[in-house]
Structure formats: structure tokens, C-alpha cells
Structure 1
């Protein structure tokens, strides 16, 4: 595999990709921001990559990295967990269990990543603490991401984005004062931890992880493997189901927000890191059309970058 370290994105390709992505967003009635680049190359394709969003569970990739930095060779130490006493609402793993169990830190991290287990995530965050989380974010080159309850992250994102009013996406109607107030009020009732982040921060995190800059080779292999073990292959994964391609991803969903950060690897090619962040008008509903739309957008971004690398 020839490894590229530089790449020029022609203006016509950037415009064409942007138009195709926003056409999908328009059809779905959503706003969108994205960033995508081959790992090892400092730039690629982007639309509002530094805009703050409530990132929901996207923080769990960073939490897993911080856990491996904290535990080191002790990642296989057993942990006794009372899921009832430590319960955090969620739809998978420890969040659904009632009996005491003993797991290793490695397997707690796995549940946090492959099923987005909120109880597992709470245990990890308690173990690593906010200082190591912040240090890990800085090591990855993340400049805007922070972890907080949903109420805080939504309020922070709304405040940061008000000056942008409908300049960042396609739907436009999502950005009104009434809707912002509705979002903040809705979030105030939610005690589950979330994050505020940007598409660029998520891509920087994945690129740093895949490049081996954050963990030992063994730990890097374990975390990247876990991200490839998603229980349900939706969003980005739905677009890359053919032979010779692998997808490792972490999704984030809360209220009207549906995101995914992923690395797409084609055989004998440089992996592509990307993050697509969306906001719809619908709260807390399963919307397969948006999940599929994220996959279609990802395909457009990855195909555009692959075409440049093959020149």
C-alpha cells in the first residue's frame, strides 16, 4: 500500500461532494456537519467541522482510551458490579441487568463501545476521572470536546450555535429561538452524561488512535477492534457491506441528534476517518431513514477521498 502524506482536494470535488451531501440532508429535513480525511493526511473534506454539537455517546471512545491509559497492563483486573446500585438508564448490557456480576475493565470498556452501555460508561468515567479525560483529549488534538450531563452540553451547543442561525446545515427550520428553548428545557430533565464536541474533534481522535499516538500497540489494537464490533451495523456501517471493507464506529444519539464517527478501511488502502453529525425536528424517535442517510453521506465522502488517493 502506498501511504500518502499530502493530498490536494480540488475545488470542484469539494463543491460536488458538499452538494450531494446537502441534497440528502434536504430530502431528510435535517441539518448536518461533517469532517472526513484519510488517516495520515491533515486535511480532507469538511462542512462546519468546528461547530459545537451535543455529541451524546460519542464521548465513549475517548473514555475507553482514557481507561486504557489509566489501567495500562492492569486492564484485565476484575471488577465486581452491582448493576442495580450503579444503574444508569440504557438499552443494553449492564444497564439492563439485575444480578451482581464480575467483569474485567476490558469487558466493561467493550460493553461501553459496542452497545453504548451507559452503566458501563459511568463506571469507566468514575475510574478515569475528569483530569485524565481532558489529558487524553488534548493528546488527541481535540480542542472543543467536554463531558457533562445532557442539560449542560445541549445548553452550551445552543449558545454557541445561535450566531450561526441556519448557516451550518440544510434544513434551516431547526434553528429558531423557540426550538432552542425547547431543546434546553427537554435536556434539563435528562441526567445521563453526554458530551459537547465537533466533527473535527472526533476525526482528530480517531486519526490519533489509529496512528498509535495515544496507546500502546496492544491497547490500540484492542480499542480499534472493539469499535469494529458494533452490535448493529447502521449509519456508516450500512453503506459498506461489501467484501474488502471494514468499518469501526461509535454512534451518538440524543433527542433530535443522530451522529456517527467512524473509520472506513478498504483492503490495501489508507483508512478514512469521518464524522457526520445531524439534527432533525423529531425527538426520541427511531428514524431509520436518517440512519440510512448518514450511511449515504459517508459513502459520498469516502468515495470522493478514495478517488483522490487513487490518482
Structure 2
């Protein structure tokens, strides 16, 4: 791969090298870097092609003195891309975002979109339009929340929570696809792969009705840098409005805390006032706004 020696960004396909170089930086603010941390960990555990057939691409932004001290202590930004999905990039200033857009316009002109904090995502999107001539469209505005004090809603719906296991992959896979369709997002990975991946580390909690019928699910990412993120909360349409989403979110959050998580996070779609209100009622508080842009044309 060609590298622009004048650019502060260093590109690579080497996952281990990327992990070693960015670990200190990503762990410095695990909440803000939650997506980069969770995707990197999944790639390390499940393999480079868990999100698709294309080779993942990684990048680090280093300051001017990085090479003098070996680089690891001077990383100031990072991105990863798992084709065919959007690139995820840490918070960087507009000039650094512009440098990345200029470099990737030559190295990865088929980039489908970007996800980052609101300011970085917008800066990169505008620069991408400038360097490629494509149209950048705001797809989703998100808010990152962090758990403050868990406050279970009362009364809880009938039933109980349990961790999904070996008999559940089919229902998890089906609900995962239904969730992606409901929120208008491309599935991050094959549905059965997602189910098996989550089951392997106890990452999905189900809420069951008294007769044992699953009524809702909530997943969390693997714990990295002390944090986990509630990633997929879903109730089938016919069962909504009965308190299942709140109950299963409380259950999966409590399980994460009991397992040793120092922080529990989640993203919401700002266009969905119901979910934003629910998570605040059970104890989550806003951290920062994020955005996703799609590129076309």
C-alpha cells in the first residue's frame, strides 16, 4: 500500500500492529472509543472476515514527534474500516479529518460512509465531497449514553431474564435481522454468525414470559478497557408497549456490572424519542452526540 509521507495518517491492514499501536490511545477514553474498541476486539477473536469478505483497513494519526519515540505514545487518532461498512474514526480536528479524506480518496475511493462524533463526521464528510465529488448524506444522528445509577422501572413485566444459550441462535438471528430492518441499517455481520458470536461470551440476555416464550432481547459487546456497550435491544412489534425492552435492558446492564464492567454505554438514534426517554429513565446519561454519513454518486 502506498503511504503519503506528508500525511499524519499511517494506513495498514495489520490488525495486530494496529492494536498494539492504538491500545494506549483507545484505552485513554474508552467511552468515546467504544465502537473502535468493540470492533477491534471482535476482529481479534472471531477473525478478520467476520464483518465481510473484504480486508479490514486501519489507520493511525500520529503527531510530528511520533517516529522519534517509537510511535506508540504519540497516537492521537485512529480509524478502522470493515468492508462493506462505513469507516469508524475517533474524534479529530477538521484539518486532521481533511488529511484523512484526502489520503483515502486515493487509497479507498469506494468508501461508503463515515461514523464518528458529530463534528468529526461532518468535517470528514464535507472533505470527502471536496476530494471525490460524491454526495455525503446525513444518515443517522446518535447520542452516546453512560450509565449513572441503574433505576429499574416499576412494576416489571411478568417473566424473567436469562442469558441466551445454545438453544437460542435461530431466534437471535431472526430478531437481529428484524432489528436491523427496523432501524434501517445494514446487518453488521451474518445473522447466524452474530448469534453464535454473542452466545460464545454470554452477550445476549432474553426476557421470557412466564410460560418461557422469549419476548425481547438485549445484547452487549465484549468487555474491553473496562467498558461494555448495550448494542442491540429488540422487542418484536406485536409485543411492544408492555415494558419488555426496559426490563431486558435493566437485566443486561445489571449482568454487565456484576461481571465487572466499570462503564456501561449505549447509543440511541436521536430520531427515536421513545428509546431516548426509556434509557434516561433507567439511569443512562448523555455523553456526546455522534453522526453517520452515507456517500453516494
Question: What is the TM-score with the length of structure 1 in the denominator?
Answer: 0.27
Larger strand fraction of residues: 2
Question: What is the TM-score with the length of structure 2 in the denominator?
Answer: 0.28
The structure with the largest alpha-carbon Rg is: 2
Larger helix fraction of residues: 1
Q: Which has the higher contact order (CA 8 A, sep 6+)?
A: 1
